[in-house]
A and B are shown apart, each in its own frame.
Chain A
Amino acid sequence: MQEQMERLPASLTLKRFHAESTPMTKPTADHAEASPTKQFFVSMRTRDINLADAILDLLDNCLDGALRLANGNSVDYALHFVKIELTADRFSIEDNCGGIPREVAKNYAFKMGREPDDDRDSDTETIGMYGVGMKRAIFKMGREALVRTRYGDDTFEVPITSAWLNAKGWEPLPINEPTEAREKLAEPGTVIHVHELYEGVSRHFANEAFENEVRTAISEHFTMFLQLGLKVELNGKPVEPVLVEVLVSKRDDGPAPFVFQKTIDDVLVSITVGLNTARSLGTDNEDDADFEGDRSSATAGWTVLCNDRAVIVGDKSRLTGWGDGIPLYHPQFAIITGIIEFRSKRADKLPVTTTKRALDTSSNVWLESLVKMKEGMRVWISYTNQWKNHPRADQSNYWEDARPLPLKAAIAAVVSRDAVRKTGDQVEFNPQKARVLPEPPGKTPSSRRIVFSRPIEEIRLVSKMLFDVDDEKPGIIGEKCFELTLTKAKKRDG
């Protein structure tokens, strides 16, 4: 027996030990409490998310409401509004997106986590799959809340009080009905008020820079919905969408972005990578070029959309391929914009995680897409490299008839070109292979860049001598100085 046990794997040994020891004990009337405390739940849950994202989660819920209301048909977002108020002592969010059905409120909406038998949204393009957003957002902000909702003609409210939060048990929350007209809602929708804000939260809500951060986040992450007519107000002021676009020339042989489209595992993947501006590359602002920190516009880098929601905006990290087989992000690449969209009716097929603002980077659909994303990036990295050594050559002429277009329009504009490769449901256009990208004049592969610094007094002196003005651009002065010396060198040589 002893021998046999020694040959068994460790886990089996342990099981056997339990099996043998069980008959030695007898059950008692005592129980060891194993349910999580509310404090634990609240503090752990709310650490997973930052304050701005918690607000975006609530906005996500509103949009999911609008999708459910449309019941599988396309949503007219122009009919919907969301109003958000941030002040030092309270938070509120109000929408007219259909409200919460009483049965859902009773059984699911206030549960901490989603029940497996909750089969809402099985055939709509929502991305709210985990049922933690509302509670997590409320507990992140404060200790008193009221959720008032109207579904059809049924209006009721659920208060969450600090007394309930402090109590040890998981008593169900009360559902109250309005007795006065002012407690009713004009149309189906939901209002959430949070009071007794935590000190840090209150400081953030009173801070203009935080308000600007939230406004920017909404304008970026919900840009598609805002463009479709959704009205979002933050502290009484409408939020405007941020447009993420790439340049497309009208000419068939003019410069155009990289484009790729394919259905992978029930998910329609659309990719475009191109330039967001045709301006010369940053060399006009030599002094600005070596700023510490990142000031590139949000639209530079990658924007990832899942069913119209921008999950990631302007990413310049390894996540979207930078520094992974291609160079790390650098200000030289600030003119490159990539947009990728995943679209599916099956929310669980989309490569997003529970926070809805992060990607599931191990999913097949993501990995396969990433290969194409990098292919597109390489085209433009090599383009910026080519032009980098010709700082004063003007590339904007080549782009004169180009207009900025969003993802869908950019793909539509490019697929009509002859150079597009179509195989099955896959569409691909590579501007480098199609030879539609401008090359700098007099380009030689042996060009090298010369960079040096001199005191401004000396630069002014040389500028005055060469150009009769003392404020010519340092780069141009340097170039002319080199030309002079080169002529001399050639003379002596020849």
Chain B
Amino acid sequence: MSAASSLPYRLRPNKAVDRELFLSLLTRLAPSLSLEKYQYIGLGGPFLEDFRLVHARLGVSRMACVETELEVHKRQLFNRPIASIECVHATLEDYLDGQEFEAPAIIWFDYTEPKGITTQIERFARTIGTVPLGSVLRVTLNANPESLGKPTTNEISVEVDDSASADRKQKPTTQEWRLARFKERVGHLFPSGLPADGMTHKNYGLSLLRVLKLAVEKEALNFRDRRMVWALATHYKDGQAMVTAALVVCAPNERSIDDLLQGWEFHSIPDFPHRLDLPALSTLERLTMESSEDVRAKLSFDLPKSDMGEDPFLVFRKFYRIYPHFSRVEL
């Protein structure tokens, strides 16, 4: 677990919305799947916030928190909010390899490291065939295209519309350079025909989700006793860009989960993830935006667009219900 991921949620509002969406998904599935009987497996960071919330909202008590770093693991044992959380000092992969699943599980592969992204994707895909029916699997992947490496300035050329560097024919653009690295990295999972435009900050997350979907679909061909129902996909950025996707492992003829998800306002699939790009707002702005029909008329200024280029008003309208409001508490 990298240092960045131990930043508290209050400094990462988009991640907080992302987590709230996942909890909302689980809450929607809980009555049909009896989630309280499930085992929850994830990476908790030093404070195990996700574990506390999963327990509080769903009543799940069998939980395992897996951590590779010894000092963080010791800290988790200290901070453990619920006694039934088993804290394990291991890699998530090793822990899962040692598990015999008796009951369905909720597993969150909360990867943050961009290195080994293909191993992460393949590991997630492989798990769909090893868990009991009804299990809910979720993965978070680092979606920063710069993680593919940085070309030196003499390696690349630039092109904007119809003007380009003199050496454009010999040298790739940054996006083309990244695309070649991406192809090397994901190998046979590369989506055929993916253009270099898929390597921009805006689109890289989508390309990664496409690879994830192909890996899962490919694995699913091996099993006739189950099919995958995609439930939630997100793309957000607080510092590092991340994508997530969650699915439910269903029996082939079981359609009730599909119906349940179709009717959910936040249902999303990897081809069309939610772009969580919420504006930073003052309390007054937020209250005004929540209580007004015509927000733009009330606010006499524009809100700045972020890197992901989403319209802040539309994003706020979509997610205001679960937009966190953090404030200072003196203890």
Contact = CB atoms under 8 A, between A and B. Distances in A.
Determine if chain A interacts with chain B.
yes
Contact of B149 (A213, A219, A238, A284): A284
Contacts of B118: 288, 291, 295
Contacts of A81: none
A38 to B, nearest CB: 28
B152 interface: yes
A312 to B, nearest CB: 15
Given A219-B193, A237-B193, A208 B187 contact: no
A291 B119 CA distance: 7
Given A215-B192, A457-B71, A295 B184 contact: yes
Contact of B192 (A204, A212, A287): A212
B169 interface: yes
A216 B187 CA distance: 11
B202 to A, nearest CB: 21
Interface stretch (B26-34, B132-140, B213-221): B213-221
B115 A209 contact: no
A277 B180 contact: yes
A334 B184 contact: yes
Contact of A203 (B122, B180, B185, B221): B221
For chain A, the bracket of interface size reads 35 or more
Interface in A240-298: 240, 277, 284-285, 287-288, 291, 293-298
Contacts of B213: 208
A48 interface: no
Contact of B155 (A210, A396, A456, A457): A396
B170 A207 contact: no
A258 B122 CA distance: 36
Given A291-B116, A295-B187, A297-B184, A209 B215 contact: yes
A336 B88 CA distance: 43
A400 B170 CA distance: 10
Interface string A55-86: 00000000000000000000000000000000
Interface string B193-220: 1000000000000000000011101101
B12 interface: no
B300 to A, nearest CB: 44
Interface string A295-330: 111100000000000000000000000000000000
A403 B169 contact: yes
Contacts of A237: 193
Contacts of B190: 216, 297
Considering residues A210, A212, A334, which has the most beta carbons from chain B within 10 angstroms of its beta carbon? Answer: A212
Q: Interface majority SS on B: helix, strand, loop or mixed?
A: helix
A297 B183 contact: yes
Given A212-B191, A216-B190, A287-B116, A296 B184 contact: yes
Interface in A184-221: 203-204, 207-210, 212-213, 215-216, 219
B192 A216 contact: yes
A134 B39 CA distance: 52
Nearest to B3: A470
Interface string B171-192: 0000000001001111110111
B225 interface: no
Considering residues A208, A209, A238, A298, which has the most beta carbons from chain B within 10 angstroms of its beta carbon? Answer: A209
Contacts of B116: 287-288, 291
A427 B28 CA distance: 70
A310 to B, nearest CB: 14
B188 A401 contact: no
Contacts of A239: 192-193
B214 A212 contact: yes
Contacts of A297: 180, 183-184, 187, 190
B69 A457 contact: yes
Nearest to B227: A203
Interface of B: 3, 68-71, 115-116, 118-119, 122, 149, 152, 154-155, 169-170, 180, 183-188, 190-193, 213-215, 217-218, 220-221, 224
26 contacts: A207-B218, A207-B221, A208-B217, A210-B217, A212-B191, A212-B214, A213-B218, A215-B192, A215-B193, A216-B188, A219-B192, A219-B193, A239-B192, A240-B193, A288-B118, A288-B185, A295-B118, A334-B184, A396-B152, A396-B155, A400-B155, A401-B170, A403-B170, A455-B69, A455-B70, A457-B70
Given A237-B193, A455-B70, A457-B71, 9 more contacts: A207-B220, A209-B217, A209-B220, A209-B221, A212-B191, A239-B193, A297-B187, A396-B152, A400-B154
